[in-house]
Amino acid sequence: MNIFRRILLALICFIPLSTAISQNWIGGMVSTDTLYAGQTNVILMNSGFHQADQLVASIQANFCLDEPQRCQDCYTDTLRTSDIESLNDTLVKITFDIPAYAFPVEWDLSLSNGMGYYPMQMFTRAYIVSQPFDNTVCLGGNARFDICAYGYRDLDYDWYHNGNLVQSEYMNPVLEIENVGFADTGMYYCVMEDWTNQGTHSDTVYLHLKKIPDQQDVPEGPAFISYNQGPVIYKIRRDELITGYNWVLMPENAGHVDNIYDTVVVSWDRDFSGQAFLFVETTLGECPGLNSDTLWIDVAGKPETQEICIVGIDDTTENCRVVWNKSADPKVRYYNIYRESNQAGIFLKLVSISAADLSIYVDSASRPEWYPHSYKMSVTDTSGIESQYSKIHTTMLLVVNRDIDGFHNLEWSHYQGFPFLSYEIYRGLSRDSMIHMNTITSNVNLYKDLTSPLASYIYYQVIARNPDGCVPTMKSGIDYSASRSNTARIHYPLGILENYRSNRLNISPNPTFNTLRIQYSGTWKGAMEATLLNLLGQEQDRFLINSSDQEIDVSMLEPGMYLLRLKEPAGFLLKKLIIRR
């Protein structure tokens, strides 16, 4: 029995109380049974003691773990036998009355016949001091079940939920459940095992959730918010079980919410655009309720600015033409075209063009040959919100005049709207026969044509190109990336060309074959330069006139019509020449 005295006794929860005689009694008596709390019998063998009625049996506390004061009380509380009787010559039955509240876990059994004291040790089985209790908690709250018991040696605790083992731990009588959900509700009990390997069940207890209302539906209110829209009201279905409503708008920078119980007023931030969502957190007293379903809300920002790609002169109508690349935003409903009025900086709307139409507008009221026209544009979305204005684009106005020397001077207003590197200059004898004549840097807007052809009408045009290109349509044959100026022309009335200052210049024979005689009747001041040009104004030959009457060889020139231009100190003299073969 000495080995049992070296085993520490633990305070354990929920194990029954028992005792057992564990060694022979001096005098030949032997334990034959186990003692339990309550009235318990022990049968002892009598190996020589014949006067059983003279025996006195008692149980007295010997050792108690963690309860020294209570054990001290037990030392003075002897649990005496309720009966001792001889069953026969060899067996004696001793009846003990061990109370259920007895806390000691090691006892001394004393037998005495008046002639001697014979101690025998017994050990108390574990027994329950306090049972677990039911728990009723909030959804998402915490629950705790615990049991208190005493026993000899340490105890094992197995906790069961609805018949399934959920926790098995050594020396841990507590079951804790965090974030309680619906699946955690139901029946719980504990099964304990002590040093006898016998399981003992606690009372069955229950975990309940406090009553909660059904989940709320999606908040009621608009799911699309236009730009700069005023405060909007949203509502949720009222439930009498709900004691509090907390409206949540995410992201937080989408706007400001003013809670009014089951109603909220949302003031949207005008700088926010994109998708937001709104839901309600509910409470039931101290318990959180179920969140409502989420309402997703599209919040429109101010429409993005739509830029003009290019403005110029329409090839067909000779009116101003505005070109833009269509926006990919499906919320664009209209493109608005503005033109500067006769007051500087004041733009008036000309038209709103449907997003489904071609992104080209020809301004039929424009007069690009009179003055440069400035345009800007905006878009209107499906909510009726207009974007900011685009950058201003301005057409080029080209003017041509003839100087005193007979050369053609071109001057035009700069194109405004996008950066580019150069201007292209075109010339022709008709609007439809323009050919490229020269390219000059974009920071210059003057050009002198020294090789203009001899014709009644000469046409000029200046072009600026958008380096990024413009693609408003797949229509072929039109280059929308070029801004064309107005078509400027210079006109020589019939007869003026031949006779332009020609009274001092005479050529013969005309027509000629190989030799041409040039006679100058003006004041001779020295050698002069003469040039032969074709009708396109291209130089074919050049030579010096060293006297007022001189012949030149034209046999190397092809047959055709030419223009002889003689440069005198006061300007140019022109004469039409025909060469034949």
Q: What is the CATH number of the domain that holds 53?
A: 2.60.40.10
Is residue 10 situated within a structural domain? no
Residue pair 271/312 in contact by the 8 Å Cβ criterion: no
Contacts of 545 (CB under 8 A, 6+ apart): 518, 520, 527, 528, 529, 530, 566
Tokens of 338: 């503005």
For residue 109, what pLDDT is reported?
59
The model's pLDDT over 201-246, given as tens digits with 9 standing for 90+, comes to 899 999 999 887 777 889 999 998 888 888 999 999 888 888 889 9
Contacts of 504 (CB under 8 A, 6+ apart): 520, 521, 522, 568, 573
Q: Are residues 147 and 111 in the same domain?
A: no
Q: Are residues 103 and 160 in the same domain?
A: no
The model's pLDDT over 310-362, given as tens digits with 9 standing for 90+, comes to 999 998 899 999 999 888 888 899 999 999 999 999 999 999 999 988 899 99
The model's pLDDT over 456-504, given as tens digits with 9 standing for 90+, comes to 789 999 999 999 888 776 454 566 889 999 999 988 654 445 444 457 8
- Domain boundary, last residue among 124, 156, 178: 124
The model's pLDDT over 351-400, given as tens digits with 9 standing for 90+, comes to 999 998 889 999 999 999 999 999 999 999 887 888 999 999 999 999 99
Is residue 8 situated within a structural domain? no
Beta strand 186-193 with 374-381: parallel, antiparallel or unpaired? unpaired
Does the N-terminal peptide bond of residue 511 adopt cis geometry, omega within 30 degrees of 0? yes
Is residue 217 situated within a structural domain? no
Q: Are residues 352 and 486 in the same domain?
A: yes
Q: Are residues 353 and 451 in the same domain?
A: yes
Contacts of 461 (CB under 8 A, 6+ apart): 398, 425, 426, 427, 434, 484, 485, 486, 487, 488
Is residue 573 situated within a structural domain? yes
DSSP per residue, 291-316: PPPPEEEEE--PPPPPPP-EEEE-TT
Q: Could you give the count of Cα atoms lying within 13 Å of 511 in the half-sphere of its Cβ?
A: 10
Domain that holds residue 78: 17-124
For residue 550, what pLDDT is reported?
92
Residue pair 357/273 in contact by the 8 Å Cβ criterion: no
Structural domain count of the chain: 5
Q: Are residues 341 and 470 in the same domain?
A: yes
For residue 128, what pLDDT is reported?
76
The whole-model pTM stands at 0.50
Q: Are residues 359 and 399 in the same domain?
A: yes
- Helix (H) or strand (E) run with residue 287 in it: strand 287-288
For residue 570, what pLDDT is reported?
67
- Helix (H) or strand (E) run with residue 72 in it: helix 68-75
Q: Are residues 72 and 188 in the same domain?
A: no
Is residue 59 situated within a structural domain? yes
For residue 36, what pLDDT is reported?
46
Query: In the structure, what pLDDT confidence band is assigned to residue 113 with cuts at 50, 70 and 90?
Result: low
User: Average model confidence (pLDDT) for the chain?
Assistant: 79
CA-wise closest residue to 340 among 363, 361, 324, 357: 363
Q: Are residues 83 and 139 in the same domain?
A: no
Q: Are residues 353 and 408 in the same domain?
A: yes
Residue pair 489/458 in contact by the 8 Å Cβ criterion: yes
For residue 16, what pLDDT is reported?
30
Q: Which percentage of the chain shows pLDDT scores above 90?
A: 42
- Domain boundary, last residue among 124, 149, 176: 124
Ranked by mean pLDDT, which of 22-26, 140-144, 170-174, 373-377 comes out on top? 373-377
DSSP letter at 539 equals: E
DSSP per residue, 179-203: S--GGG-EEEEEEEE-TT--EEE--
Does the N-terminal peptide bond of residue 509 adopt cis geometry, omega within 30 degrees of 0? yes
For residue 227, what pLDDT is reported?
80
Q: Which percentage of the chain shows pLDDT scores above 70?
A: 73
Is residue 4 situated within a structural domain? no
The neighbouring-strand residues paired with 122 are 21, 107
End-to-end Cα spacing for the chain: 153
Is residue 219 situated within a structural domain? no
CATH of residue 543: 2.60.40.3080
The model's pLDDT over 5-63, given as tens digits with 9 standing for 90+, comes to 322 232 222 223 333 333 333 333 334 334 444 555 555 555 444 455 555 666 555 54
- Domain boundary, last residue among 282, 299, 316: 299
Tokens of 395: 């057409």
For residue 504, what pLDDT is reported?
82
Q: Are residues 261 and 355 in the same domain?
A: no
Is residue 89 situated within a structural domain? yes
Scanning 393-542, the segments in alpha helix (DSSP H) are 496-499
Q: Are residues 132 and 118 in the same domain?
A: no
Q: Are residues 45 and 87 in the same domain?
A: yes
Bigger pLDDT: 454 vs 396: 396
Q: Could you give the count of Cα atoms lying within 13 Å of 76 in the half-sphere of its Cβ?
A: 4
The model's pLDDT over 538-579, given as tens digits with 9 standing for 90+, comes to 889 999 999 999 999 999 999 988 888 888 876 778 888 889
- What number of other Cβ atoms are within 10 A of residue 530's Cβ? 23
Query: In the structure, what pLDDT confidence band is assigned to residue 96 with cuts at 50, 70 and 90?
Result: low
For residue 282, pLDDT beyond 70: yes
Q: Could you give the count of Cα atoms lying within 13 Å of 487 in the half-sphere of its Cβ?
A: 20
Backbone angles phi, psi at 74, to 5 degrees: -70, -30
